[in-house]
Amino acid sequence: MEYRFLGNTGLKVSAIGFGNVLNSDNPDRLQITIELVKRAYSLGINFFDTAEFYGYGEGEIQFGEAFKALGAPRQELVISSKIFWGAPLTLPDVKKINQIGLSRKHIFEGVKNSLKRLQLDYLDIVFCHRFDEDTPLEETAKAFNDLIGQGLIHYWGTSEWSASEIFEVREVCARLNLTPPVTEQPQYNMLVRDRFEVEYGRLFDNFRLGSTVWSPLCSGILTGKYNDGTLPAGSRLKEFMDNFIMKAIYNQFFAEDKREKLLKLLNDLANVAKKLGCTQSQLAMAWILANQDVSSAITGATRPEQLDDTVKSLQFIKKITPEVNKEIDQILGNKPMPGQDVKAFGLKKNTRRELMIIKNQY
């Protein structure tokens, strides 16, 4: 396993983390979660991620039982959760109106409820699961600063915030002498690239912001299981189609007008993986981890052996050379182009990924 600093902190997280969004909606999957956590830990994974939103507490309950069954010393684990949706979105409901968002009330109550479900005394990282337009940033930042002061959390971060929102909250923290968020948790994979590779660039450069990216395999699409266009039995899109994330992924990438292009792309990636001697999922994960702005890539699993395959992707990071990366970009056809003013004059500007790979070669 490779361990990386979480941005500009002294905290080391495994380059591959484990998240439990997949099994969190079903209490009957507790035993599977326990087996997955044990396998992840045996493979060197020390970073585990969940959220109050996952099963509205069920995900945290399962992780709590899994950590107890694992029996590892607490100091060996880096555990994170996310706060925003503490109740289903069925507003208006007087019983739930303060269980959603980033008010001081919900942040404190949400974190304390998460700790009870996880059976922990503290969390290493708590993420703001989304940006809250209704709550002043000063209130949110002060609440997390106080939680750190009370020893209930060690760090805080954001998830799916825009760069401008992160810059704004950092300005608030600087002005009020508060601990700023140290990491962002965005979606990032071969099919979803723009925000991570372009929008966050100055945050990575100026503040060494950490990142714990989710869906590195695009909910299984990049594993090779769907290269023939069908949904095989046991696959995520087949087994978890009731999950809102799986439904969104299917509708986004398997729509009739996109299916043919997607299948060609997937099969071309399979050929690249074959040349490199790895599986298609290992190629997709190695491609993610070749970007040094990635602190940790969070993966999910339905079977322990899937984690074995994912962790082996670390062996192929060095094979993502500039030549291989260029071939992948040509297949994907979605390479972000930062600096539109430069592009307008017909000049070539290397992307952050290209510059990082060049740096790593010398």
The residues annotated as belonging to the active site are: 54
Nearest to 287 by CA among 244, 318, 257: 318
CA distances from 348 to 2, 201, 343, 351, 354 (A): 33, 18, 7, 9, 12
Structure tokens at 347: 């000049």
Using CA atoms, how far residue 317 sits from 185, 195, 213, 320, 321, in Å, is 21, 22, 17, 6, 9
Listing DSSP states for 159-179 in one string gives: SS--HHHHHHHHHHHHHHT-P
Q: Is residue 82 exposed (0-12), middle (13-18) or buried (19+ Cβ within 10 Å)?
A: buried
How far apart CA 337 and CA 48 sit, in angstroms, is 33
DSSP state of 362: -
311 vs 154: CA distance, rounded Å: 27
Contacts of 66 (CB under 8 A, 6+ apart): 30, 33, 34, 36, 37, 38
d(CA 91, CA 98): 10
Q: How does DSSP classify residue 63? A: H
**End-to-end CA, the chain:** 23
